[in-house]
Structure 1
Amino acid sequence: MEFVILASFMLLVILGFFSLASSRMIEARVEGNRKISEDIAKFAYREVEIAKSVNDGYSRVFEIPQSVNGVNYTLSVIDGRELVVNYLDEEYVQFLPINVTGNILKGSNRIAKINGIILIN
C-alpha cells in the first residue's frame, strides 16, 4: 500500500516536471518567433530612418529575405506609417518615423528621398 502511494506521488512529480518543461519550451519558441518578426521589422525601419535623416537625392537598394529559416512571412506598410510583419502567427507592428510612399517587398527594394518624401520601390 505504501509503495503504491509513493509510486503515485513520484509519478505526479515527474508529470509536473515534464509539464513545466514543456510549457517553458513552448514559451521559448513563441518568444523566438516574436523576436524574428521584430528583427525583420527593425531592419526595414532602419532603412526608412536612414532615408529620413539624409538630404534629398538619397537612393539605396536593400534586400529583404524571401523567407526566414525556410518559413514564409508577410511584410506590409499600412497607411504609409505602420510596418507590419507576420511570422508564424506572430504579428509585430513598428511605427515608421515618417510617412512613406510605396510598400516594402520581399527581395530587392529601392528607397529614395526626393523633395523630402520617402519613396519605396
Structure 2
Amino acid sequence: MKKNKAQSAIEFLILVGAVFFFVVTLTGIFQQNISEKTIEKRNFEIQELALAAQNELNIAAKATDGYRREFYLQEKVAGIDYEINLIGSFVYFNTSDGRHTIGIPGQNATGNFVKGTNVIEKQNGIIILN
C-alpha cells in the first residue's frame, strides 16, 4: 500500500514538473515574439519620421517659389528622444540611446529641422527651414 502511494506521489511530481517546463518554455517563446514585435514597431516609427522629413524637403523642391507649409515633428519617437539634422543634402536621424541612426538623401536647404512645428518655404529657388 505504501508503495502505491509513493509511486503516485512520484508520478504526480513528474507530471507537475513536465507541465511547469512546458509553461515556462511557452512563456519564453511568447516573450521573445513580443520583444521582436516591439523592436519592429520602434524601427518602423523611427524610419517613418525620417522619411516624413525627407518627403517635406522633396515636396518643397518640386514646388514653385512662394511655397510655404507647416508640419509637425513629434517630441519623441517610440518613447525615445532623438535628433534630426539636415547636413548638405542628407537628413540624418539619431536616437539618444545610440541604437538607431539613419541617413537618407534629401534636398539642399538652409536651416534645420526642430522638434515640434516646422515651417518650410521656397523662395527664389531656395528651400528654407524654420
Query: Cα deviations across residues 57-97 of structure 1 (Å, max 9, x unaligned)?
Result: 32222222234576543322234312315276652525134
Matches within 5 A, 1:35-54: 35-54=44-63
Is there any run of 5+ residues in structure 1 with no aligned partner, and where?
none
Hey, what does 1:103 align to over in structure 2?
112
**Change over 3 Å in CA distance of 1:70–1:5 after alignment to 2:** closer
Q: Which has the higher contact order (CA 8 A, sep 6+)?
A: 1
2:5 is aligned to none
Per the TM alignment, residue 15 of structure 1 is displaced from its structure 2 partner at its CA by 0.6
**Number of residue-to-residue matches in the alignment:** 121
Higher strand share: 1
Q: 1:13: Cα distance to partner?
A: 0.9
Report runs of 4+ in structure 1 exceeding 6 Å deviation: none
Identify the residue that residue 114 of structure 1 maps to in structure 2: 123
TM-score (norm 2): 0.73
Larger Rg: 2
Contact 1:65 1:106 (C-alpha < 8 Å) held by counterparts:
yes
Q: Which moved more, 1:82-91 or 1:12-21?
A: 82-91
Distance 1:85 1:105, change over 3 A: same
Distance 1:34 1:66, change over 3 A: same
RMSD (CA atoms): 2.6
In the alignment, is the contact (CA less than 8 A) between 1:86 and 1:92 conserved in 2? yes
